[in-house]
């Protein structure tokens, strides 16, 4: 069987920046073990698969190790493929996912807007062992900690976030999907990094799902509903975030890098 494959750099307007995701359109769903094997072979933080159904699209996301319930950059990448490579004539896409219906819009300025459920975090008190692992993993004494599937760690400033040299083995032992470190930005509202070794992603370049947790937190802290965010990975990426009731709208560019054919 031959399948088309695209690789898209998300949350950037420059190739070789942002977060690369593989996108594979399907006529029908393949066995889960095949989808997982393809994602593992791609070895990107996410591979998105979608199947068109009537006027909507069923969308799923896989890391090299597991299927996930929500992924921002691969949703943006899938929308880029549908809008441009597949020449979708509407400016709105409805994705049916494990996280419900996600609405994606093509904006007049060339960006893509994705509409995700907000996932507010709550304060958490780590155990002594967890605190020790976190200090070892980040190489610094963390500030306040919050959680909602991921652990969110406040840092003193942008430099502290940028200078983290993670101990992945220590972070992998923490009982969270991922570790998000964040601080107020120097030239934007807030910055972050995301480490997800438990799902096979040591550091994710730009993480849309993390911003569904970060945006409610920073909106309250900064008293503003519209924020400019930057993820400080080596590749880097920019996300405009807007909190609307219980939703987070994320806007960014996507760049078409590669397309080809896989043989299975």
Q: What was the pLDDT predicted at 168?
A: 97
Catalytic residue among 41, 46, 67, 113: 46
Helix H, strand E, coil C: the string for 112-133 is: EEEEEECCCCEECCCCHHHHHH
- What is the spatial distance between Cα 232 and Cα 39, in angstroms, rounded to a whole number? 25
Which domains are delineated in the chain? 2-115+250-263 (3.10.310.10), 122-245 (3.10.310.10)
- What is the spatial distance between Cα 256 and Cα 212, in angstroms, rounded to a whole number? 25
Tokens 């969270």 correspond to what residue? Answer: 176
- 130 an active-site residue? no
Q: What was the pLDDT predicted at 210?
A: 97
Q: 39, 19, 10: which is closest to 104 by C-alpha?
A: 10
Q: How many residues does the chain have?
A: 264
Q: What was the pLDDT predicted at 199?
A: 86
Could you report the per-residue pLDDT of 82-123, keeping only the tens digit for each? 999 999 999 999 999 999 999 999 999 999 999 999 999 999
Q: 163, 199, 182: which is closest to 241 by C-alpha?
A: 182
Q: What was the pLDDT predicted at 57?
A: 98
pTM of the model: 0.94
Mean pLDDT, the chain cut into blocks of 10 residues (264 residues total): 98 97 98 98 96 96 94 98 95 97 97 97 97 98 96 98 98 97 98 94 95 98 98 97 98 98 96
Q: What was the pLDDT predicted at 248?
A: 98
């Amino acid at each position: 069987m031959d399948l088309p494959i695209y690789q898209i750099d998300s949350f950037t307007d420059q190739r070789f920046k942002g977060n690369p995701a593989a996108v594979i359109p399907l006529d029908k769903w393949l066995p889960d073990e095949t989808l997982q094997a393809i994602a593992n072979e791609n070895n990107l933080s996410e591979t998105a698969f979608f199947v068109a159904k009537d006027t909507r699209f069923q969308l799923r996301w896989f890391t090299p190790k597991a299927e996930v319930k929500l992924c921002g950059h691969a949703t943006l990448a899938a929308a880029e493929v549908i809008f441009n490579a597949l020449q979708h004539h509407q400016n709105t896409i409805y994705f049916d996912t494990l996280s419900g219906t996600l609405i994606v819009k093509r904006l007049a300025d060339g960006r893509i807007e994705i509409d995700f459920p907000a996932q507010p975090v709550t304060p958490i008190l780590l155990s002594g062992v967890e605190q020790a692992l976190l200090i070892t993993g980040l190489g610094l004494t963390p500030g306040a900690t919050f959680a909602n599937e991921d652990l969110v760690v406040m840092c003193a400033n942008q430099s502290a976030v940028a200078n983290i040299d993670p101990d992945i083995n220590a972070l992998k032992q923490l009982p969270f999907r991922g570790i998000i470190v964040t601080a107020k930005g120097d030239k934007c509202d807030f910055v972050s990094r995301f480490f997800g070794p438990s799902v096979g992603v040591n550091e994710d370049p730009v993480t849309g799902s993390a911003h569904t947790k970060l945006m409610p937190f920073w909106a309250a802290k900064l008293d503003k509903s519209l924020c400019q965010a930057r993820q400080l990975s080596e590749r880097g990426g920019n996300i405009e975030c807007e909190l609307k009731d219980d939703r987070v709208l994320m806007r960014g560019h996507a760049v078409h890098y590669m397309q080809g054919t896989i043989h299975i």
